[in-house]
Amino acid sequence: MGSSLNRGVIRMNRVAICLSIAGIALAACGSKQDPQTAQGQSAKAAAPADPIAQMARAVGNGKPGAAVEIRYEFSGKPTIGSPSELQIAFIPHAGVDSMEIVINGMDGVTLSGTQIANFADVEPQKPYIHTVSVLPDRNGVFYLSVVVTTQIGNQNLSRVFSVPFAVGNVPAQEKPAPQTDASGEAVQPAKAKETTRPG
């Protein structure tokens, strides 16, 4: 009687041990799937693409040490007699304390809105947005000149950029007269002219 009871207890202990091992194995399998599930949820919750990164650059690669980067985007394709909103993002690099912006049009284009803007105590790599309205009166290729004066320490650094855009069906070989700055020097759309003066 006692021996059969002992055998029954041993069998129950074996069953309990087997169930414990099985439970541990299932828990381990479940824990292996958690990182994948978390990764999938994190991918779904990923932030949308940076809208500034989708904008066109007002300059090419630029020269080393450029104090500011400019990107721009039209609300729609510019057309004769219909104003289009032009959004310009000014992105200062490290060391820039403030920015002064002046936007100029050219013959055949009327600008509306504030064409001068000032940004004080700017933060590096933070975009500062300014918007103007562009109204062309004929077809062609045009440039808007954007003069950015940055204050770095006790010096002011001026750069002249160009924002090109086309109105209507312009032949690929057509080249507009280059936009010029206040000194009469041509402004290139993919380059910037830089001058330095004491603050």
Annotate 135-167 with b (16+ C-beta within 10 A) or e (fewer): bbeeebbbbbbbbbbbbbeeebbbbbbbbebeb
This prediction has a pTM of 0.64
Q: How far is CA 46 from CA 43, 60, 126, in A?
A: 5, 30, 21
**pLDDT of residue 108 exceeding 50:** yes
**pLDDT of residue 198 exceeding 80:** no
Tell me: the pLDDT tens digits for 17-72? Answer: 444 554 444 444 444 445 555 555 554 555 557 888 899 998 644 455 569 999 99
Distance CA 107, CA 101 (A): 20
Question: What percentage of the chain has pLDDT greater than the value 70?
Answer: 58
Distance CA 120, CA 96 (A): 10
Tell me: the pLDDT tens digits for 131-164? Answer: 999 999 999 999 999 999 999 999 998 888 999 9
CB atoms within 10 A of CB 119: 20
Please, are residues 108 and 138 in contact by the beta-carbon 8 Å criterion? yes
Query: In this predicted structure, what is the pLDDT of residue 58?
Result: 87
Annotate 80-105 with b (16+ C-beta within 10 A) or e (fewer): eeebbebbbbbbbeeebeebbbebbb
Torsion of CA 56, 62, 66, 68, to 10 degrees: -10
What is the residue extent of each domain of the chain?
1-46, 52-198
Query: In this predicted structure, what is the pLDDT of residue 49?
Result: 73
> Which is more confident, 196 or 75?
75
Length of the chain: 199
Domain 52-198 part of CATH 2.60.40.10: yes
Which residue matches tokens 């994190």?
Answer: 42
Query: In this predicted structure, what is the pLDDT of residue 31?
Result: 47
Closest by Cα among 176, 165, 148, 172 to 75: 165
